[in-house]
Amino acid sequence: MQTRTLGNSELDVSALGLGCMGMSSGYGPPADKQQMIALIRAAIERGVTFFDTAEVYGPFANEELVGEALAPFRDQVVIATKFGFDIDPKTGARSGDADSRPEHIKAVAEAALKRLGIDVIDLFYQHRVDPAVPIEEVAGAIKDLIKAGKVKHFGLSEAGAQTIRRAHAVQSVTAVQSEYSLWWRQPEVEILPTLEELGIGFVPFSPLGAGFLTGKIDTNTRFDKSDFRNVVPRFAPEAMQANMALVDLVRSVATRKGATPAQIALGWLLAQKPWIVPIPGTTKLHRLEENLGALNIELTADDLKEIDDAASKLSLQGARLPESALAMTGR
């Protein structure tokens, strides 16, 4: 397994991680727990060392799943989880609001350590920026947790460039996690240059466009009623029809390279910067193996230019998230 270092942190992880959210929430009913434990362990067998979860996935169920699956392999893996939402610790009920008050961050850290069954959180992300709490106070709370030996590394998710700078000035940020793929390239404008300047790693979530770039989704696809894609504008039938042009582009490159569209989409991401570590999620072993196959795909400078030139001519339709979710990003 190839490895990558997240920025200047010396945090080495597998070049592809595993996003675990979809095992418990987001894409329909939770998958069978024992099957997901087996899948996570299959990922370890294949060299994956970087696993991503959050308290809000479930809520709580995903951390418990990941903790149980990784318990026998704790010294071989890096576990990332997240704080930052107002969630009732007893019922798991969510208000939908952000909550990054320092006392709340510390309480979430203690609860996450118990759910994961670990002594220290390897990478602790603020899930969304809380406009009510100065980012300096958030970074200060993480600094306290690092001093206490309960957290190793600080991360931010979907934060804006100035927020990243302000946080990093108080406590070094190891990684920023945001959506990034051929389907959503906005991070290239400000975020990637900022991270390169500051020596911070980048962890793209939804590197396959929530499944769209696999080529397995079209206007006839019907999602489970609890699948978040039902309310994502880019998955509305009219938008999807227009956006199929991007899938066709990726598929044409895949055919020439003897690869799958998913492998080309991941390979493109991996080729952007050596400190980018995508975290595709799946609940299926054959998809896990397909995704890991992206590490064997070599995209030449000519390939990348061809993809960029063709993609620049496309006009993608629809927002990447519902309006309420977009309001919590890029702060």
Active site residues: 57
Burial class (CB in 10 A: 0-12, 13-18, 19+), 91: exposed
The token duo for 273 is: 């910067």
Token digits of residue 79: 């576990």
In the Cβ-directed half-sphere of 38, how many Cα atoms lie within 13 Å?
A: 8
Q: Tell me how far apart the alpha carbons of residues 188 and 75 are, in angstroms, rounded to a whole number.
A: 34
Residues linked to residue 201 through DSSP beta bridges, in sequence order: 175
Which residues lie below 8 Å from residue 263, measured CB to CB, with a gap of 6+? 254, 257, 290, 291, 293, 294, 297
Whether 232 and 320 have beta carbons less than 8 Å apart is answered as yes
Angle at Cα 11 formed by Cα 280 and Cα 328, nearest 5°?
50
164-195 per-residue burial string, b: 16 or more CB within 10 A, e: under 16: bebbbebbbbbbbbbbbbbbbbebeeebbebb
Give the C-alpha separation, 182 to 177, whole Å: 16
Amino acid at 125: Y
What does the alpha-carbon distance between residue 262 and residue 250 come to, in Å, rounded to a whole number? 8
